[in-house]
Amino acid sequence: MDNYVRIFDTTLRDGEQSPGATMTSAEKLEVARALARLGVDVIEAGFPAASPDDLEAVRRIAVEVGALRAMRADSPAQRPPIICGLARASKKDIDKAWEAVQHAARPRIHTFLATSEIHMHYKLKMDREQVLERVIEMVSYARGLCDDVEFSPEDAGRSDPQFLYLVLGEAIKAGATTLNIPDTVGYTTPDEFGALIAGIIQNTPGVENCIVSVHCHDDLGLATANTLAGIQAGARQAEVTVNGIGERAGNTSLEEVVMALNTRRPVFNLVTGIDTTQIMRVSKLVSNYTGIVVQPNKAIVGANAFAHEAGIHQDGMLKHQQTYEIMRPEAVGVTQTHLVLGKHSGRHAFKVRLNELGYELSEADLDKAFDRFKHLADKKKTITDADLEALVADEFYQPREVFTLDGLQVVCGTMGMPTATVRLRGPDGSTHTQACIGTGPVDATYKAIDAIIQAPNTLLEFSVHAVTEGIDALGEVTVRVESRNGHYSFDTQTETDRTRTFGGHGADTDIIVASAKAYLSALNKLLVASNRAGPAETPAFVAHLQTA
């Protein structure tokens, strides 16, 4: 058995499918590029049968990311990532998946059908013979289109192992090249899941010619432990998401599995193709785009993951780093530099530092970013790497703008009614001004924005945090809104529509401005999803949508 563990990233499918994680096509493409730079082996880019938009997003990723040559000079594969599309076990879904992924240099179709008694009886209303027959038929149909076919017996964690061996053996005969074993509901324990994988490897005819994969959910907080147990039992592909986002409690987190394999190499004796120094950057990108904030104490990528607060720990750290640190922060891309640039730094130094952080901007974008940097440096004496990352995220990792903030003035405090005057520029270039009072400055600002845009929504989450320490720190605001006009996304597993929510993110030294930008970025996504631009809907907006 080889010692290479393939990293199959499903942030754009199982992750994006989870409530609140909706991303626009442009954002998905940017995440896919970042995943390719990170060195993942497979990108599950989406579920093409869900909607024409989903199909188009997967197709664009296949064309633009799946055709890239040698992502990293030292990548073991020196090849572009495999681009995978998910399909239920139906010809229609498989055709859509193939339509989307066929443009990639290395396409894959991933099809699934449930094998647990509870799923077969209540959800599929099929018996074992019917399930077996459908698996054979659909895997061979997919294999007729694509040389690389993955099959997943959904809810394998609660399936009868003897039935699994039979189904998987037939899937191999029908042409499956990867067998993915999902613990769909996050039910198993590490011992059980490891034993399930060992049993499959021992008892499934033909398994030696396939890659066995593991796909865990975190309902009991065991996803990473179960994934590692599966890998120790012989699985050589791990299905994961960035920051562990995903259905309910989430999927296995990419960064946890990769860093466990890296940090405890003597225990596992296994390698991945991941450039771990990209981890933090991809984590921030996904958090900014989805509006799903990473909890501060999250392993590897949480804000406190490398912070040593307790005096006794700090003392130990000063004596020897390894007293309390099992990984170097730089290994995951957490830069320790404090003072990087200031007011007098030139464009060249700025560009060099951005390149060192992994950002390669076009000359035009660099000009824009440098302009923002100069403004920030006027307000803030020291500009750290974290500030630069927040600035780049705010300037470039935003959804296509429909409305932009053109001006904002607030009056607040204990002496009167909090009032906000907001000026927005619409898609046709015209400006709209509105003043509102509210319970506080953010409430007043949001009311004024609502009065202009008129996109009925409920604010589900609002969070603010300082990017760095100090009174002049950049404030980062993340929001999540739910449309009250009924936007739905299709859930592949429950086969139901669920209400879509939209995340937004903004950064500024003024937290009211950051709050306004975050809200606008979420509303812009909502407007794009509903193909409208509120009261300012004009031919210019329609043309803008068509060309974007």
Instruction: Give the footprint of ligand KIV on residues 169-198 (CB under 6 A).
Output: 180, 182, 184
The residue within the footprint of ligand KIV, chosen from 108, 215, 380, 505 (CB under 6 A), is 215
- In angstroms, what is the minimal distance from the CB of 240 to ligand KIV? 12
Please say which residue, 14 or 389, places its beta carbon nearer to Zn ion: 14
Please say which residue, 112 or 403, places its beta carbon nearer to ligand KIV: 112
The residue within the footprint of ligand KIV, chosen from 152, 457, 483, 501 (CB under 6 A), is 152
CB neighbourhood size of 54 (10 A): 25
The rounded distance, in Å, linking the Cα atoms of 434 and 81 is: 48
177 closest CA partner among 110, 104, 80: 110
- In angstroms, what is the minimal distance from the CB of 89 to Zn ion? 16
In Å, how far are 26, 93, 117, 303, 344 from 100, measured between CA atoms?
16, 11, 32, 37, 49
The rounded distance, in Å, linking the Cα atoms of 389 and 418 is: 32
Query: Is residue 14 a contact residue for ligand KIV (CB under 6 A)?
Result: yes
CB neighbourhood size of 139 (10 A): 27
Please say which residue, 111 or 483, places its beta carbon nearer to Zn ion: 111
- In angstroms, what is the minimal distance from the CB of 35 to Zn ion? 17
Residue 112 binding target from Zn ion, ligand KIV, none, CB below 5 to 8 Å by type: ligand KIV
- In angstroms, what is the minimal distance from the CB of 198 to Zn ion? 22
The rounded distance, in Å, linking the Cα atoms of 139 and 110 is: 9
Query: Is residue 218 a contact residue for Zn ion (CB under 5 A)?
Result: no
Please say which residue, 22 or 213, places its beta carbon nearer to Zn ion: 213
Piece of 14-22, 123-131, 302-310, 438-446 that binds Zn ion (CB under 5 A): 14-22
Say how many Å lie between the first and final Cα of the chain, rounded.
47
Query: Is residue 44 a contact residue for Zn ion (CB under 5 A)?
Result: no
Query: Is residue 154 a contact residue for ligand KIV (CB under 6 A)?
Result: yes
Listed in sequence order, the residues at least 6 apart from 25 whose beta carbon sits closer than 8 Å to its beta carbon are: 53, 56, 57, 60
The rounded distance, in Å, linking the Cα atoms of 466 and 479 is: 15
Count residues binding ligand KIV (CB under 6 A).
9
The rounded distance, in Å, linking the Cα atoms of 276 and 422 is: 42
The rounded distance, in Å, linking the Cα atoms of 539 and 327 is: 55
Query: Is residue 16 a contact residue for Zn ion (CB under 5 A)?
Result: no
Instruction: Classify residue 303 by its DSSP letter.
Output: T
In Å, how far are 367, 368, 383 from 344, measured between CA atoms?
16, 17, 11
Q: Residue 268 has which token pair?
A: 């596992």
- In angstroms, what is the minimal distance from the CB of 166 to ligand KIV? 19
Backbone phi, psi, residue 360, to 5°: -120, 100
Count residues binding Zn ion (CB under 5 A).
1
Please say which residue, 89 or 390, places its beta carbon nearer to ligand KIV: 89
Piece of 11-19, 112-120, 429-437, 448-456 that binds Zn ion (CB under 5 A): 11-19
State the residues that interact with Zn ion by CB under 5 A.
14
Binding site for ligand KIV (CB under 6 A): 14, 112, 152, 154, 180, 182, 184, 215, 217
